[in-house]
Amino acid sequence: MENLYLFPKMPGVSIAIWIVSSMIFLFFAREPMHKMIQAMSDATAGGLRKMASWIKLSAEAMREKDRKVLLESGVAKIQGEILQEFHKIDTANTKSVAGYPKLQLKLDENIAKIESDYKECGQVTPEAPGWSEAVETIARAKGSTGDRIIEKMLSEIHKSAVAGEKKAISELREVAGKRHKILGGMAPVWKRIEKLGKEINYKVDKVIENSRNIDKYMDQYQKISTGGSESIDMLSSKVTKLFIISLIVIFVGMVGAFINFNLIALPMSELVPAGVRVAGMAVSEISALVIVALELVLGIFLFEAIGVTHTFPQIANMTSGKRRIILYGSLFGLLFLASVEASLAILREHLAEAKTALDRSLAGESGSAISENIDSNITVIGQALLGFVLPWILAVIAIPLEMFIEASQHAFAKIYTIMITLVCHLANALAFLIEGIFKILMHIFDIYIIVPVQISNMFKGKSASVS
């Protein structure tokens, strides 16, 4: 440090000379220094702004791509639902049309029966004209003549007329009784007609209801096809909800898989070579993981063969015979693995009991103390049932797994967009901060050379006033 002093015995004077010299030098280098500071500011802050602009374009491209994927998946889903509704309507209409001729025949038969009964009820036996007046005239004339023969003849005529009138009344009553009986028999026919009418109305209402469902789906299809912001928000909300639900179900399934793994890991050590390790894991643990993974794979193929999931299009495009082979093979494989796990669970309990007995014997407990241990089969049965049921539960994970795969693209795109948008804002903020720092640095430089600057301004002011 002392070597830099111009006057070693006067360090203050030396430092003052260096300061004045540096101020004069920087005063004459003021313009290049400003350009250098501005160039450094442009290089760093401008680079960050360019990077932020590129990130913003990338986020917009990802958002547009996700929008197109959402619209395509939404349109495909609505189209599938519309096709299902058309299939339902076709099935319902086929059933209705197939049964309509029979219903119409029954209705026509019942109406014809009612019509015939009505016509039969209208046939009334007419009363003989003038009988009642003739009977009254004969009754008045019977006592007015003196001839007994005529009186007897009139008496017989009177008796015959009365008997004929009684017979006519009896026949009329019989006909009226038959009419009432026919009318009484028409009630069940009316009930059958009413029932047929209700059945026809029910089928027509069912067809109308299915048609309304199609109208609802068509409205949704039109809204989604327009690609408006409301449609995108609705599809995004549905996909996000699907992603969260599937993620929760998969997490619960993974917990079940962990329990299943621990259930069979110990007894697998009796079936595979002991002491062998691969990548730090025992062979028994790897074997248990393979069994759990096979159960999940068989579950995927099972639901693919049934048609519940569509992860593999090749399986969906197969003929029904080949899909049936895959279905039965998957069922047999799951049944076999479930039986193996049940037997391994039983073996695990026996191994645990043997280990407990060995530990007690090594601890010095007597055989009677060991025999006093409660021998219960409840634990063995419970573990066997658990080992048999868990593979079937793990197989069902195939359904939420497909849901997760379908919804994860939108979810990850959304997360990626949010993250790079945040990086864009951070880059802009950092660019603004760097520009501020370089501006402050420029002002500090100007403050350091303020004395020569002010002297230069004074001389410039005098020269301007003289001129």
- Check residue 341 and give its pLDDT: 85
Among the ranges 27-31, 75-79, 106-110, 290-294, which has the highest mean pLDDT value?
290-294
Q: What is the band of 275 on the pLDDT scale with cuts at 50, 70, 90?
A: low
Q: What is the pTM of this model?
A: 0.59
**Overall average pLDDT of the 243-257 stretch:** 89
Average pLDDT over every residue of 357-379: 55
Long-range contacts of 11-19 (CB under 8 A, 24+ apart): none
Residue 253 lies in a domain: yes
Number of domains into which the chain is organized: 2
Q: In whole angstroms, give the CA distance from residue 147 to residue 141.
A: 12
Residue 450 pLDDT grade (very low, low, confident, very high; cuts 50, 70, 90): confident
Q: CB of 103 within 8 A of CB of 198?
A: no
**220 and 112 share one domain:** yes
> Where does the pLDDT of residue 368 fall: very low under 50, low under 70, confident under 90, or very high at 90 and above?
very low
Residue 111 domain boundaries: 82-226
- In this structure, are 242 and 255 located in the same domain? yes
Yes or no: say if 161 and 135 are a contact pair by the CB < 8 Å rule.
yes
**Position 16 in a domain:** no
Residues 319 and 347 in one domain: yes
At 369 the pLDDT is: 43
Give the residue among 126, 144, 136, 141 at the shortest CA–CA distance from 162: 136
In this structure, is residue 322 part of a structural domain? yes
Spatial contact of 117 and 178, defined as CB atoms under 8 Å apart: no
More confident residue, 182 or 429: 429
For residue 433, name the pLDDT band (cuts at 50, 70, 90).
very high
Give the whole-angstrom CA distance, residue 393 versus residue 296.
9
Higher pLDDT, 282 or 415: 415
Give the CATH number, domain containing residue 172: 1.10.287
* Alpha helices (runs of H) in 269-374, residue ranges in sequence order: 283-306, 313-316, 320-362, 367-371
Pick from 40, 45, 50: which is nearest to 434 by CA? 45
294 is a domain residue: yes
pLDDT above 80 for 165: no
pLDDT above 90 (res 411): no
Residue 30 lies in a domain: no
DSSP bridge pairs for 281: 278
pLDDT at 273 over 70: no
Examine residue 182 and state whether it is found in any structural domain, yes or no.
yes
Residue 367 has pLDDT above 60, yes or no: no
Is residue 446 in some structural domain? no
Domain presence at residue 414:
no
426 has a pLDDT exceeding 80 = yes
Residue 373, pLDDT score: 45
Residue 332 has pLDDT above 90, yes or no: yes
Percentage of the chain lying above the pLDDT 70 cut: 61
What is the per-residue pLDDT across 68-98, written as a single tens digit (0 to 9) for each?
877 777 777 777 767 776 776 667 666 665 6
* Interacting residues of 406 by C-beta distance below 8 A, sequence separation 6+: 73, 239, 242
Amino acid of residue 163: A
Domain match, 237 and 292 both: yes
Residues with Cβ within 8 Å of 360's Cβ and at least 6 positions away in sequence, in order, are 369, 370
Distance in angstroms (rounded) separating the CA atoms of residues 255 and 261: 10
How far is the CA of 241 from the CAs of 12, 74, 140, 408, in angstroms? Answer: 76, 14, 106, 11
CA dihedral 90, 94, 96, 98 (to 10 degrees): 170
Residue-wise pLDDT for 111-125, tens only, equals: 776 666 666 655 554
Residue pLDDT, tens place only, 200-237: 677 677 767 766 766 676 776 666 666 666 767 777 78
Same domain, 207 and 299: no
Angle at 332 between CA 312 and CA 335, to 5 degrees: 110
